[in-house]
Structure 1
């Protein structure tokens, strides 16, 4: 009776019908493909892993009519269910064996291809599309990076223990049947990977990040494909012409002209540089939407199709550089960086050209597709990679669409300002009493370099932009913008202390005396928000407290950083009297991805420890305007009416606060302890 050519042993054992194995494969197809995907080496790329995983599973069965014979396995307990179907374990072994074969290719074999024994004809075959599993979160990305550093047998051990739910003995048994002599090392390494995972490893391997059956599709390199088609057509025509010449003139040699260097690929549709929206005169002062869509096209190279083609080509390939949800990467000589939560796919339609010109030794292109701003830079001379930066700009307004970063050099940051900016100045956020200084701006809206914060970690100066919008859009006011490393500067605002019996106050521009004094104490904390895709940061002074033992007056504040993608992080602080206007605040708590201190979280309670000038320790608490009483529990117990609480307590006393709200109900303390 014929048996499978893949079986490793011909020792007597239980017989499994081909129909049973096929039924197990069909019923558990998605699980088996995920298993193969987890074991395949990540170095082949996600697209090839997807196709290889499906191909391995689809070729797991032998030819039609075969009867399978495998050694009878030891009865290792495993989760009950469909996987107990006869034939499932045999199919799983064949899939694991084929997936592990990718690790054992000869050294001379091309790195991107599987070993020869796997390159059998068969499906699936895909032309013109690339497949990628849906991106997961940071936990999934961290696990994927850890798997990339492990060998195939370790990945198989992890998959068997987490995805298949096998105990350690079951994992060793399967690895033994696969021909692995030393099963202890991969089992130990797999256990270490599982323990180091940021979350439940079983849930992580079942997430969309490792699901090759639920994929996103992207086209292959459209520009290069089109260029190759054209080049192929030209070469074919040249060959035909050469053949005709040989036919007509005998064996006389015909010399063909050199084609020269290949031109920059030019695409079609949204990727065609000739289709880029070029608007020189935009009625920005006669529109109800004052954002990046109201920017005109500027720059002396706005008609340079070759430069625009390079920028669009880099945008089209950005997804390859930051595959897997990474924040940055490199592809084909272009370094790609995106703000968190920013899609990197090619524009769905022809983007709008905001700027194209030479700035600080680089060619710079700024594009906008309605939801994202993109900057492409390329050195004019010398070696150096091109760069592409992407950031979300949906729901931008007069302030958050007032400037974009053109370049960052040692001299400082240079911006392109919006057409509605009538005045441009700069001020040091750490010196609230120093007036703003003029900032030179060209006729096209390009600013002089604005020096950055001093290097070396010392927070001794913090230059920010202070812009004034035009009265032509009935928005004649000044506002502050700070550079936190993204393409768009961050809008700084301030919400003052609540008035007596007054309703909640709204954020306002941080240009008044009280706002500048508050931000002088908080400015150095902005560095911790760098590169997070922050859109705006508001500091809300929610309570004022007279400190015990004539310690002076303190202000409790909640500083909220809102991102372009939606979630916001908060930092709670206590500003006690200090000899310097820029003395750092005492951070008393933090919270991430929270609605606190926003329009959807208008109440807050906080607490901390404080040492009086006499050296005595106190536990302090405070609540926002709707808090009528604060209750302390723990090392200190008691209730105090009003929005503040103070009581003598040891330095290490553990106390939690709860606030009673005027409208009924209670509010728990957001966080406790110094950050």
Structure 2
């Protein structure tokens, strides 16, 4: 025969203890509230659980010796109240509120506060819900939903909170349950999965409202409501314009149309049917190859809804859209219908690539379509030609990159720039020209390798942007592809210094070995080189001068002795360069070395080291740590300084 519940004896509760208990055991209390609440949408249930716990303390502060709220059961001899009486008090208030939220309500009765949507917390534009568990967790959740509110409370208290049925009865009675014995009997009849016997299922992430996943609300409905609101706002603006503004007075805008006037070109840019699509063989007949002659490829080029979303996000990126752009690239909407390069699925994303004559634009969203987030990337690519339009990044995931190659790329392979003799590994591409994943140099720790891509005769590398940078070698006024052993050896020493050019909008990097110097004291022969990264925007170039001491292994990074930003040095318009370094000979003596390009007639050192030499090379004894200033004269009498 079941024992009848007795009225619990009360225990004074210090409100400060209750506050401390709520803060310390907040996740446990929210889990209890979440499990006892009646069945409802998981996102609403999460917010309701947090709201009930956050309202568990009284609004008015009371003295430490006063009783606050419902009575707290007194522990019996030998029984320890888990976490103290402060926790028991807060748990009792949470339990009472959760039970009240599930109580039936008459047709014309005013709902209780617990039955109303919580004022706080609130999350706009997102649905929050716990992580999904397995089949056992789902079965247990469905079984709990079939119980009454007191039955759920009895089951959860017995499994997670209290040591015996007597304590459960007292807690239920204190929370206002009229028949605790019936609630316990109902909980005992629940057929739960085997894994719940030791409470492991109730403690799983499936029932943890403090470890959440976020998804957007109904995007379609939200867009419909947004369009309706915008239409109403536009009508209000038009009405104000017609009835509230002086006729013919448009202020300082001159001949501009009224603010509410429609722009046909802007509207056309949002219409998927008006996208520019190039025929598959247009590049064969073009006077100049570039992105403008790429055909539209991919398995979703006819997916009107995907294209419409991509164009709309481009025109009006919302707060959930991650927007990136290379330096100097505008992120505004298209001036008219752009060109479609690609629309398809890459890994777990649906990707769309556009080209508007000046920029590449990449739109990506979740392939499943259940997320409101998206990514929008911009890269300036004006004046691209066949050499610089060999590929576009279509996806980045797990430190790997996938490319869409130009239609004229006949072969693709991956090479390690640090290994001059590497012949490359073939890179597979699908029918649309999308490559298999390739490691990004950014994922390499310590520059132990530097993956580069060989597309036909062109060598390119990823610098963290949409368009890979082309790598060349030779004099600045006549750069050529990296197709000789000497050029590959030079790039092996330079590759690790490409890190300084990442995310700078670099279009092409040229390596130029401008001088060879016989070192004093029998030190051997050193190599001087410079690398110049030209940007798509024409400004912000990166220049680095390297000194390669003799005897270093192939692939060993050269010593960067000078750097410059936005300098014409080492470029086609100013093919002059001067750099210096302090070098320690094998004998232990120090020298100030300097080297200039071949048109340098003389070099002078001043400051901590003084000396001069005719021609483009200088070697002067120096002291360790000495500071010197270098100048050089060219054949036409022009004076240049060293890179810094």
TM over 0.5: yes
Distance 2:522 2:313 in 1: 62
- Residue 630 of structure 1 aligns to a residue whose secondary structure is strand
- What does residue 228 of structure 1 align with? 228
Match in the other structure for 2:273: 274
Q: Structure 1 residues 283 and 580, CA, compared in 2 at 3 Å: closer, same or farther?
A: same
Distance in 1 between residues matched to 2:224 and 2:336, nearest whole Å: 19
Aligned twin of 1:352:
339
1:102-152 deviations in whole A, cap 9, x for unaligned? xxxxxx9xxxxxxxxxxxxxxxxxxxxxxxxxxxxxxxxxxxxxxxxxxxx
Asked if the contact 1:426/1:464 (under 8 Å) is kept, the reply is yes
What residue in structure 2 maps to residue 158 of structure 1?
none
1:367 CA displacement: 0.4
Counterpart for residue 401 of structure 2: 413
1:280–1:298 Cα contact (<8 Å) kept: no
Counterpart for residue 570 of structure 1:
543
Larger radius of gyration: 2
Report the alpha carbon displacement of residue 611 of structure 1 after superposing the two structures with TM: 1.1
Q: Partners in 2 of 1:224 and 1:535 — Cα distance? A: 42
User: What is the alpha-carbon distance in structure 2 between the residues aligned to residue 518 and residue 663 of structure 1?
Assistant: 30
The 2-side partners of 1:224 and 1:514 are apart by: 62
2:630 paired with 1:657: yes
Q: Find the partner of 1:608 among 570, 581, 589.
A: 581
The question of whether the paired residues in 1 share the 8 Å contact of 2:511 and 2:529 is answered with: yes
Structure 1 pair 617–229 and aligned structure 2 pair: CA distance change class (3 A): same
CA contact (8 A) 1:270 1:350 kept: yes
Contact between 1:454 and 1:460, CA under 8 Å: does it hold in 2? Answer: no
Task: Tell me if the contact between 2:420 and 2:485 (Cα under 8 Å) persists in the aligned partners.
Answer: yes
Give me the whole-angstrom Cα distance separating, in 1, the residues matched to 2:281 and 2:354: 16
Q: Which residue of 2 aligns with 1:340?
A: 327
Equivalent residue runs for 1:165-564 within 5 Å = 227-228=227-228, 268-318=267-317, 331-381=318-368, 383=371, 385-410=373-398, 412-453=400-441, 455=443, 457-468=445-456, 478-495=457-474, 506-564=478-536
1:187-211 per-residue CA deviation (whole Å, 9 max, x = no partner) reads xxxxxxxxxxxxxxxxxxxxxxxxx
Q: Distance in 1 between matches of 2:480 and 2:635?
A: 26
Q: Distance in 2 between matches of 1:409 and 1:459?
A: 20
Distance 1:580 1:454, change over 3 A: farther
Residues 623 and 643, structure 1, Cα contact 8 Å, conserved in 2? yes
Report the CA distance between 1:455 and its aligned residue: 3.9
Per-residue CA deviation, residues 417-464 of structure 1 (Å, 9 max, x unaligned), is 001111111101111112122111112111111122374632111111
CA drift at 1:665: 2.6
Gaps of 5+ in 1: 1-107, 109-222, 234-266, 319-330, 469-477, 497-503
Could you tell me which residue of structure 1 aligns to residue 595 of structure 2? 622
| Residues 69-94 of structure 1: per-residue CA shift (max 9 Å, x gap) | xxxxxxxxxxxxxxxxxxxxxxxxxx
1: distance between equivalents of 2:587 and 2:273?
73
Residues 454 and 461, structure 1, Cα contact 8 Å, conserved in 2: no
CA offset at residue 556 of structure 1?
1.1
The alpha carbon displacement at 1:403 in A equals 0.3
Gaps of 5+ in 2: 1-119, 121-222, 234-265
Q: Give per-residue Cα distances to partners, 1:561-587, cap 9 Å, x unaligned.
A: 111111112111111124321111111
Q: Is the 1:607–1:656 Cα contact (8 Å) retained in structure 2?
A: no
| Aligned equivalent of 1:640 | 613
What is the CA deviation profile of residues 474-519 of structure 1, one whole-angstrom value per residue up to 9, with x for unaligned ones? xxxx1111001100000111115xxxxxxx7511112321111011
Partner SS state of residue 285, structure 1: helix
Q: Structure 1 residues 488, 622: closer, same or farther in 2, change over 3 A?
A: same
Map Cα deviations across residues 572-610 of structure 1 (whole Å, 9 max, x no partner): 111112432111111111111111111221112111111
CA distance in 2, matches of 1:513, 1:427: 14
Taking only aligned residues, the RMSD between alpha carbons, in angstroms, comes to: 2.6
Query: CA separation of 1:667/1:417 partners in 2, compared to 1, >3 Å: closer, same or farther?
Result: same
- What SS does structure 2 have at the residue aligned with 1:422? coil
1:369-409 deviations in whole A, cap 9, x for unaligned?
11100000111136572100000010111121110001111
Would you say the 8 A contact 2:477–2:571 is kept in 1?
no
Q: Kindly indicate whether the alpha-carbon contact (under 8 Å) linking 1:605 and 1:623 is maintained by their aligned counterparts in 2.
A: yes
Closer/same/farther in 2, CA of residues 626 and 456 from structure 1, 3 Å limit: closer
Q: Structure 1 residue runs of 4+, over 4 Å off?
A: 223-226, 229-233
Distance 1:662 1:231, change over 3 A: closer
Provide the secondary structure at the position in 1 that maps to 2:445: coil
Check the 8 A contact 1:492/1:536 in 2, yes or no.
Answer: yes
Aligned CA distance change for structure 1 residues 604 and 641 (closer, same or farther; 3 Å): same
Q: Assess, with a 3 A threshold, how the Cα gap between structure 1 residues 284 and 533 changes in structure 2: closer, same or farther.
A: same
Bigger Cα displacement from structure 2, 601-610 vs 288-297: 601-610
Question: In 2, Cα distance between the equivalents of 1:573 and 1:667?
Answer: 18
Contact 1:609/1:619, CA 8 A, preserved across alignment: yes
**Quick one: distance in 1 between partners of 2:372 and 2:522?**
60
Q: Does structure 1 retain, via aligned residues, the 8 Å contact 2:341–2:355?
A: yes
Where 1:357 maps in the other structure, the secondary structure is strand
Structure 1 residues 224 and 464, CA gap change in structure 2 (3 angstroms): farther
1:580 equivalent in structure 2: 553
Instruction: Find the aligned partners of 1:524 and 1:272 in 2 and give their Cα distance.
Output: 45
Work out the CA distance in 1 between the residues paired with 2:380 and 2:308.
22
Structure 1 residues 224 and 654, CA, compared in 2 at 3 Å: closer, same or farther?
farther
CA distance in 2, matches of 1:422, 1:356: 22
Answer yes or no: is the 8 Å Cα contact 1:492–1:510 preserved in 2: yes
Structure-1 separation of matches of 2:362 and 2:503: 16
Q: Do 2:427 and 2:435's aligned partners in 1 also have CA atoms closer than 8 Å? A: yes
> Relative to 1, partners in 2 of residues 1:667 and 1:447: Cα closer, same or farther, differing over 3 Å?
same
- Aligned-partner SS, 2:328: coil
Q: TM-score, normalised by structure 1?
A: 0.55
Contact 2:611–2:620 (Cα < 8 Å) also in 1 = no
Pair 1:656–1:482, CA change in 2 (3 A): same
